[in-house]
Amino acid sequence: MKILITGANGFLGHYLVESLLNTNYSIIATGKGNSRLSFSADNFLYTEMDFTNAASVNEIFDTYNPEIVIHAGAMSKPDECELNKDLAYNVNVQGSINLLEAAKLHNCFFSFISTDFIFDGEKGNYREEDLPAPVNFYGQTKLFAEEHVKEYKGDWNIIRTILVYGKPNSGRQNLLTIIKRKLETKEGYNVFDDQIRTPTYVGDLANGIITAITKKATGVFHISGNEELSPYEMGCKTADYLGLNKSLLRKITKSDLKEIAIRPPITGFDISKAKSLLNYQPISFDEGLIKTFSN
């Protein structure tokens, strides 16, 4: 089966492609501009596709005839979305519409990667059916895109995830690798202690998505780790694991720092649906640290 992946040069996209190399799927990896993937395999090709360009999307779909689409590409940084709302809408919403329209013509299974930021963060431990209420523009665009996916006339799923970490194989850093660098350079780092997340190891997420598409599981799924941690707690665990000085981590709360995009305070997912329907079993945060920092 042919799978088209968007955002293949990104953090998750890189892991998705790598995890699919040893399967029977044919991978059509797409991204903005040139490939930053160094894979070479019979079942892998890369082609440039800016999904905000509907003509380009249609041309790529006509050329490669994918049967499954994993839409992992996005403008994924909340502050950038808040500062560039038109661009964020175009990339995260219009781009998704372009892909859904092309996917329908080719009768594809459509998998959309979404976020805990569609919730307001007042409740925590969110289930798939909880009511969305985004508090920043990034979350709003992802929710708009979800609404379009739910209207898709073919089969679809939405995989929501939370604060993804792991080895930055694509070059894009994440909270753990940023903390490592800031502590190694003795610069220190501000980390929130009044936000709660269930951080997700990127390899678990990639495997969960691949299981979901292989099972053709439709509907919404929450995929994350299963430990509730604040970024500060994640930072302390990272420092301890690496033997770095955790006193360089500055514990902050919402009142200490005015963020460009407001963050939902307490998210975290109830992942029981993914556990029972996808046999999803995330590794612990301690195991995730080993995977992130081992050679």
Ligand X SMILES: NC(=O)c1ccc[n+]([C@@H]2O[C@H](COP(=O)([O-])OP(=O)(O)OC[C@H]3O[C@@H](n4cnc5c(N)ncnc54)[C@H](OP(=O)(O)O)[C@@H]3O)[C@@H](O)[C@H]2O)c1
Q: DSSP state, 188?
A: -
Is residue 181 helix, strand or coil? Answer: helix
Q: Is 163 in the site for ligand X (CB under 6 A)?
A: yes
Give least dist CB 247 to ligand X, A: 26
Length of the chain: 295
Q: Is 289 in the site for ligand X (CB under 6 A)?
A: no
Give least dist CB 117 to ligand X, A: 7
Which residue of 72, 149, 271, 274 would you call a contact of ligand X, by CB under 6 A? 72
Binding segment (CB under 6 A) for ligand X, from list 68-76, 180-188, 232-240, 257-265: 68-76
Binding segment (CB under 6 A) for ligand X, from list 118-126, 162-170, 270-278, 281-289: 162-170
Which residue of 52, 98, 140, 267 would you call a contact of ligand X, by CB under 6 A? 52
Give least dist CB 245 to ligand X, A: 26
Which residue of 3, 5, 9, 119 would you call a contact of ligand X, by CB under 6 A? 9
Using CA atoms in the order 130, 136, 138, 141, what is the torsion angle rounded to 10 degrees? 60
Is residue 79 helix, strand or coil? Answer: helix
Alpha-carbon distances of 6 from 49, 138, 177, rounded to whole Å: 8, 18, 24
Q: Which of residues 169-188 bind ligand X (CB under 6 A)?
A: 170, 172
Element (H, E) at 99: helix 95-105
28, 66 Cβ separation under 8 angstroms: yes
Which residue of 37, 57, 74, 99 would you call a contact of ligand X, by CB under 6 A? 74
Q: Which of residues 186-245 bind ligand X (CB under 6 A)?
A: none
Which residue of 3, 4, 68, 91 would you call a contact of ligand X, by CB under 6 A? 91
Q: Is 128 in the site for ligand X (CB under 6 A)?
A: no
CA distance 117 to 130: 13
Total site size for ligand X, rule CB under 6 A: 29
* Residue 263 token pair: 């963050």
Q: Which of residues 92-121 bind ligand X (CB under 6 A)?
A: 95, 113, 115
Alpha-carbon distances of 189 from 33, 177, 199, 203, 239, rounded to whole Å: 33, 12, 19, 26, 12
DSSP string, 28-47: EEEESSS-------TTEEEE
Residues that bind ligand X (CB under 6 A): 6-7, 9-13, 31-33, 50-52, 72-76, 91, 95, 113, 115, 142, 161-164, 170, 172
